[in-house]
Structure 1
Amino acid sequence: MTTDDLAWTAEEACQNAWPSPRQVLLEGWLLRASGGQTRRTNSVNPLRSGPRDPSRIVAAAEGIYRSLGQSALFRVPSIVAEMDGPLERQGYAAEGETCTIFADLADHRTEPDGTVELSETPSEAWLAARTAMNPTESADAAGSPYRQMVGSIVLPKAFAARRVDGALVAIAYGVIHDQLLVVESVGTHPDHRQRGHAARTVSGLMGWAKSRGIQGCCLQVVADNSAARALYRSLGFGTELSRYHYRRQPDAG
């Protein structure tokens, strides 16, 4: 598999691991509109074999998002860099640079960890922990957009939670797509950070996937989040497959 092929597989895997309950196919583009605060599920995305110049669908996309009370947002992966120029010329400003990184699970060594629980569905305690660990996203975590999103995942999945002295201190979940594990929603309770809990939780998911014959793992991390990137490097995420950023519709006012 070439680097571009792997990057595209990761694109598809990440979309399936964080699905939008509402989406539209628009002339070869995937328009996602979940509501809530998450940009990934409220943006226009290119498809592997689709067009690369979004100019002809900008007006239609703006109309659809306007009907939902949102501004139009285009997600621009580095493997589709041709999107940038047309959007910039229409006044769309760039924001939110993120990296998609990869780890080879052949290199992953893990011992069974009795403190990491795995479940096919998120418990109420897991969802409550998500809210506590992401206070700025609490509406998404506790309300319908996030619940609808995790409820829409149809591929093999596992929700991981690490407990210490009975307290849930770290969470994450993983989804398997085409021999690739995607790790999402990694978080540690504010009172338990910098103690390796997130690393052990993610490691538990990696071990789960490896036991099922999965060969690689990817995740997406904000480009300037140095602490998170250091954590993932310690787990073997040493390859950057691609980056992406967003282009947001200029203020109509």
Structure 2
Amino acid sequence: MTSDPDLAWRVEEACLNAWPSQRQILLDGYLLRAAGGRSKRQNSVNPMRRSGAPEPAIAAAGALYRSLGQRPIFRIPAIAPQMEPFLRSAAYAVVDETCTLYRPLDDVSAEPDPSVAVATAPGADWLALRDAVNHADAAAARVFRDTVAALMLPRAFSSALAEGGIGAIAFGVLDRGMLVIESVATPEPLRGRGHARRAVGALLRWSRAQGAEAACLQVVAANTPARALYRGLGFTHELYRYHYRVGPEPG
């Protein structure tokens, strides 16, 4: 875990910026997001740097999520755990412990990989692969496209080419010299062949060519294959973890 809170908050903010929610408000210093779809990050209450006492935000968020027909979700990062004591009840389950990983980019070459296509927007094949790997229904697919449309920062979408099509995809967002890696996906029959490694590696090189100094990503702690992939790509420094407290479905 990091001993540098400024770096941790820089990464936290970059990750929020790289995965925007189309509907969000501030509640007493906490960011409430309600994009719809399946992403807990886009449908949860998040502490901000220097957020204060959480009780008013927790109460307001519970009422607001109920009015939207959504279950209340609270994201609890280790760098700002103040909501946790107020949510320790049977009504709020702990789910999805997640690692935030970081690596400098000073050892990354800017030389492109000709076997990976990098574009500023996702093509139809890129989107179709992501939908398929994530088993996205029409609503979830629409939320992801809205998320991409809401991005305000430089971004790149990589497709690692394989025989017969695309072997893996990923996208990255560049926030003040920090690359955030998102949506790494490989079709199940093609896993274990290095395609995801090439897709992410292309984004590291792209961002280095854009002047990025470091990269970060967030991965579910129990996802052993993904963590091994990222470790092999140099993401060996864990900054902090977070988990969610998830309330019951409305009604």
TM-score range normalised by the length of the shorter chain: over 0.9
Q: Could you tell me how far 1:166 is from its partner in structure 2?
A: 4.6
Aligned partner of 1:7: which letter? A
On the 8 A contact 2:98/2:219 being kept in 1, the answer is: yes
Q: For 1:57, what is the secondary structure of its paired residue?
A: helix
Which piece of structure 1 moves more, 109-118 or 29-38?
A: 109-118
CA distance in 2, matches of 1:9, 1:17: 12
Note closer, same or farther for the CA distance 1:140–1:235 as it changes in structure 2 (3 Å cut).
Answer: farther
Which structure has greater helix proportion?
1
Aligned partner of 2:157: which letter? F
CA distance in 1, matches of 2:239, 2:137: 30
What residue is the counterpart of 2:25 in the other structure? 24
Q: For 1:201, what is the secondary structure of its paired residue?
A: helix
Is 2:153 the partner of 1:155?
A: yes
Q: String of CA shifts for 1:175-231, please: whole Å, max 9, x gaps.
A: 011210000000112221100000011000000001111110000000011111010
Is 2:81 the partner of 1:97?
A: no
Aligned partner of 1:25: which letter? L
Aligned partner of 2:31: which letter? L
CA distance in 2, matches of 1:82, 1:200: 39
Q: Could you tell me how far 1:169 is from its partner in structure 2?
A: 1.4
Q: String of CA shifts for 1:24-68, please: whole Å, max 9, x gaps.
A: 1111110000001110000000011221x3222222111111121
Q: For 1:50, what is the secondary structure of its paired residue?
A: coil
- Percent identity at matched positions? 49
What residue is the counterpart of 1:192 in the other structure? 190
Is 2:201 the partner of 1:225?
A: no
What does 1:39-188 correspond to in 2, within 5 Å?
39-51=40-52, 53-88=53-88, 91-109=91-109, 111-135=111-135, 137-139=136-138, 142=141, 144-188=142-186
Aligned partner of 1:113: which letter? D
CA distance in 2, matches of 1:167, 1:211: 26
Q: Could you tell me how far 1:109 is from its partner in structure 2?
A: 4.1
On the 8 A contact 2:133/2:187 being kept in 1, the answer is: yes
Aligned partner of 2:117: which letter? E
CA distance in 2, matches of 1:4, 1:179: 18
On the 8 A contact 1:31/1:42 being kept in 2, the answer is: yes
Note closer, same or farther for the CA distance 1:172–1:34 as it changes in structure 2 (3 Å cut).
Answer: same
On the 8 A contact 1:172/1:184 being kept in 2, the answer is: yes
Note closer, same or farther for the CA distance 1:165–1:251 as it changes in structure 2 (3 Å cut).
Answer: closer
Q: Could you tell me how far 1:108 is from its partner in structure 2?
A: 2.5
Structure 1 gaps of 5+ residues are none
On the 8 A contact 1:101/1:241 being kept in 2, the answer is: yes
Q: Could you tell me how far 1:252 is from its partner in structure 2?
A: 6.6
Note closer, same or farther for the CA distance 1:251–1:161 as it changes in structure 2 (3 Å cut).
Answer: closer
Q: TM-score, normalised by structure 1?
A: 0.93
What residue is the counterpart of 2:34 in the other structure? 33
CA distance in 2, matches of 1:206, 1:192: 22
Note closer, same or farther for the CA distance 1:89–1:166 as it changes in structure 2 (3 Å cut).
Answer: closer
Structure 2 gaps of 5+ residues are none
Note closer, same or farther for the CA distance 1:179–1:160 as it changes in structure 2 (3 Å cut).
Answer: same
Note closer, same or farther for the CA distance 1:90–1:54 as it changes in structure 2 (3 Å cut).
Answer: farther
On the 8 A contact 2:178/2:216 being kept in 1, the answer is: yes
Q: TM-score, normalised by structure 2?
A: 0.94
CA distance in 1, matches of 2:109, 2:187: 25
CA distance in 1, matches of 2:66, 2:80: 25
Note closer, same or farther for the CA distance 1:90–1:165 as it changes in structure 2 (3 Å cut).
Answer: closer
What residue is the counterpart of 1:213 in the other structure? 211
On the 8 A contact 2:158/2:202 being kept in 1, the answer is: yes
On the 8 A contact 1:55/1:87 being kept in 2, the answer is: no
